[in-house]
């Protein structure tokens, strides 16, 4: 059965800090429910800023700061830029964001969707560290993700693994260099492949940057969220969907089918490729929703996600997971 082959600052808005405001979640003024374009239709230029729905979110730096208000972003890079402007820092200082918690909680990681009432916490660069690791097994036990703006970081450490035995390696650490090679700007799946391809029974060096922590956050390291954990964010009925390509949209919360399918596909991404990426998983579910057979699904994936070299078995398993979710089999 054929599957492939596969190949691989805007106009300013007004932000300000709110000195004594309680952390209670972002606020959004939305003129209509359901799906509405924030950035215009696919292939069209973005509409003027004054014609976009006005979505305002509250944000803080995770290690402690006043509360800021941000608006007018349509993708993750623009979001980081708006946060940086609000706190007078450089956007590349931001490693990742979590929703509704200042802790390094990978189950609350900001991915492709933000609930319209979610509060955004930005985790910025902290201490740099360099560690030598002896690769005594084929797998290091690391799950890699990225922040959508060029920084890959550690999302999970498998208990008892090679990485777990090196206590200086922590969930949330940004991987800056592997054996002296700078990997900033390298996508998570490429970083995972580089780590997997390192020769066994030889040492290698990692340069890491951990997120800055407030005093009360200094605690024993986490292994990251459990694969079966609830990764649902937001309490409202709508979310802002951020896409790497195409416009951001305001959408209803994912249906039960979508949640189950996205979680299963995300699990398959970790199993086959050593990464977790809920936005990528959501895109694959969206692509496969109306496809009638694996060949049609594979061709659609190639058109939509041509940068990824998906194994044939992975594509078949993803197709099966989407079908199982449709039938309510898990």
- Chain centre distance of CA 274: 14
Banded model confidence at residue 9, pLDDT cuts 50, 70, 90:
very low
Q: What is the pLDDT of residue 27?
A: 35
Banded model confidence at residue 244, pLDDT cuts 50, 70, 90:
low
Task: Please provide residue 43's backbone torsions phi and psi, each rounded to the nearest 5 degrees.
Answer: 80, 0
Q: What is the pLDDT of residue 65?
A: 93
CA distance 163 to 156: 10
Looking at residues 217-238, what average pLDDT do you find?
50
> Is the bond leading into 5 cis (omega within 30 degrees of zero)?
yes
Looking at residues 79-86, what average pLDDT do you find?
95
Q: What is the dihedral of CA 258, 32, 113, 150, to 10 degrees?
A: 140
189 vs 106, 119, 144, 192, CA distance in Å?
Answer: 18, 28, 8, 5
Banded model confidence at residue 275, pLDDT cuts 50, 70, 90:
confident
Query: Which residue intervals of 8-118 are DSSP H helices?
Result: 76-87
CA distance 148 to 126: 19
Tens digits of residue pLDDT in 307-316: 777 888 888 8
Q: In the predicted model, what is the mean pLDDT of the chain?
A: 78
Higher pLDDT, 259 or 218: 259
Q: What is the pLDDT of residue 272?
A: 85
Tens digits of residue pLDDT in 21-47: 333 333 333 333 334 334 434 455 655
Q: What is the pLDDT of residue 140?
A: 95
Q: Which of 100-114, 143-157, 194-208, 247-261 has the lowest mean pLDDT?
A: 247-261
Banded model confidence at residue 51, pLDDT cuts 50, 70, 90:
low
SS3 46: coil
Looking at residues 72-95, what average pLDDT do you find?
93
Q: What is the DSSP secondary structure assignment for residue 290, as one 8-state letter?
A: T
Q: What is the pLDDT of residue 7?
A: 39
Tens digits of residue pLDDT in 191-205: 999 999 999 999 999
Q: Which of 11-15, 195-199, 280-284 has the lowest mean pLDDT?
A: 11-15
CA distance 128 to 114: 29
Determine the angle formed by the axes of helices 294-304 and 278-288, rounding to 10 degrees: 130
Tens digits of residue pLDDT in 132-188: 999 999 999 999 998 888 899 999 999 999 999 999 999 999 999 999 999 999 999
């Amino acid at each position: 059965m054929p599957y492939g082959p596969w190949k691989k600052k805007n106009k300013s808005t007004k932000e300000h800090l709110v000195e004594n405001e309680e952390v209670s979640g972002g606020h959004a003024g939305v003129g209509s429910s359901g799906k509405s374009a924030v950035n215009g239709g696919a292939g069209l230029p973005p509409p003027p800023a004054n014609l976009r729905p006005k979505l305002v979110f509250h944000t803080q730096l995770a290690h402690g700061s006043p509360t800021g208000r941000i608006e007018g972003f349509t993708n993750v890079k623009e979001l980081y830029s708006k946060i940086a402007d609000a706190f007078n820092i450089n956007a590349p200082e931001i490693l990742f964001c979590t929703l509704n918690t200042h802790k390094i909680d990978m189950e609350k990681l900001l991915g492709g969707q933000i609930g319209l009432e979610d509060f955004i916490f930005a985790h910025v660069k902290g201490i740099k560290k360099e560690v030598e690791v002896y690769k005594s097994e084929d797998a290091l036990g690391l799950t890699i993700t990225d922040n959508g703006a060029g920084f890959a970081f550690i999302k999970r450490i498998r208990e008892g693994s090679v990485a777990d035995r090196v206590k200086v390696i922590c969930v949330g650490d940004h991987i800056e260099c592997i054996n002296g090679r700078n990997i900033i700007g390298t996508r998570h799946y490429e970083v995972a492949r580089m780590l997997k391809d390192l020769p066994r029974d030889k040492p290698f060096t990692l340069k890491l940057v951990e997120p800055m922590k407030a005093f009360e956050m200094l605690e024993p390291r986490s292994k990251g969220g459990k694969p079966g954990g609830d990764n649902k964010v937001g309490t409202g009925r709508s979310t802002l969907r951020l896409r790497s390509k195409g416009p951001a949209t305001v959408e209803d919360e994912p249906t039960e089918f979508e949640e189950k399918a996205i979680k299963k596909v995300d699990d398959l991404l970790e199993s086959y490729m050593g990464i977790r990426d809920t936005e990528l998983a959501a895109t694959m579910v969206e692509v496969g929703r109306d496809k009638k057979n694996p060949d049609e699904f594979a061709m659609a994936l190639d058109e939509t996600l041509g940068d990824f070299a998906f194994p044939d078995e992975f594509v078949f398993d993803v197709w099966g997971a989407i079908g199982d979710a449709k039938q309510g089999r898990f």
